[in-house]
Amino acid sequence: MGALPRHIGISMDGNGRWAKLRNKKRSYGHKAGSENVQKIAEHAFSRGVEIVTLYAFSSENWARPKEEVEELMHLLGDYLKKLAAKAVKNGIKINVLGNKARLSAKLNKIIAEQTAKTSGGTRVLNILIDYGGRGEIVRALNALKESGEAVTEESIRQNLYTAGMPDPDLIIRTGGEIRLSNFLLYQAAYAELYFTDVLWPDFDEAEFDKALENYASRERRYGKIEC
Ligand code: IPE
Ligand code: IPE
Ligand code: MG
């Protein structure tokens, strides 16, 4: 086995199409997708990955029909409770990252309680909710403006939601679209990108391992001409 990514980002796309293929409502796909989160996160950690960052709800996803947004918010609270219970046992620290001000007080309470339980974990599971990469960069720059600290690549990095974490080595997007959709824009500068047509609810351990194998075959040059 070649190199193993320390940090993997996953854009979990394709729930709606997965449901449509089964003549079901989109919410059916979101439910199936949420049930896949724990399986894949645990599998990633079992392979030795240290940090998993999951894109669960973008700042642009608020533009979806109100009913779908409400269902997603409800589901997020629900699966966070299940995830946290398991995470405590498995030594996984859960962080919910994003603009939490726009979430309901109820969901914020669930997030605070559930993530606090997991604070002793050593592997890290970041769940991005109401997250956008551009918004994250603007937020970092505003923090620097307020503190008066000089704007440098490092000071911006220290003011991102992922402050203190290594950049993602590998970014996976399921669901067939070849785009980032505002995911980890600053952090992805030198990430290896892996796109698969597999829809998120169907993305299983074997598919995850394919992404790892593919990553292991890449030569990361960082602008140089040899490793
Ligand atoms: C990903 O699945 C989940 C979210 C973006 C919240 P989608 O809901 O985008 O599913 P598709 O892309 O429409 O199939
Ligand atoms: C990206 O999926 C965001 C998440 C996976 C949460 P979208 O379905 O929102 O992205 P677009 O609209 O296809 O770019
Ligand atoms: Mg989508």
* String of DSSP letters for the chain: -----SEEEEE---HHHHHHHTT--HHHHHHHHHHHHHHHHHHHHHTT--EEEEEEEEGGGGGS-HHHHHHHHHHHHHHHHHHHHHHHHHTEEEEEES-GGGS-HHHHHHHHHHHHHTTT-SEEEEEEEEE-HHHHHHHHHHHHHHHT----HHHHHTTSTTTTSPPPSEEEE-SS--S-TTSSTTGGGG-EEEE-SS-GGG--HHHHHHHHHHHHT----TTSS--
Q: Is the CB of 181 under 6 A from ligand 2?
A: yes
Residue 160's pLDDT is what?
98
Span 8-29, average pLDDT: 98
What is the best residue among 17, 36, 172, 177 to mutate for testing ligand 2's pocket, by most ligand atoms within 8 Å of CB? 177
pTM for the predicted model, two decimal places: 0.98
Q: Return the structure tokens found at 3.
A: 């190199």
pLDDT tens track for 64-110 = 999 999 999 999 999 999 999 999 999 999 999 999 999 999 999 99
Domains and CATH numbers, the chain: 7-132+164-216 (3.40.1180.10)
Span 109-125, average pLDDT: 98
Residue 99: Cβ within 10 Å count: 15
Residue 227's pLDDT is what?
60
Residues taking part in catalysis: 13, 61
Percent of the chain residues past pLDDT 90, beyond the cut: 98
* Nearest alpha carbon, ligand 1 atom 12: 14
pLDDT tens track for 20-51 = 999 999 999 999 999 999 999 999 999 999 99
What is the best residue among 40, 178, 181 to mutate for testing ligand 2's pocket, by most ligand atoms within 8 Å of CB? 181
pLDDT tier for residue 62 given thresholds of 50, 70 and 90: very high
pLDDT tier for residue 226 given thresholds of 50, 70 and 90: confident
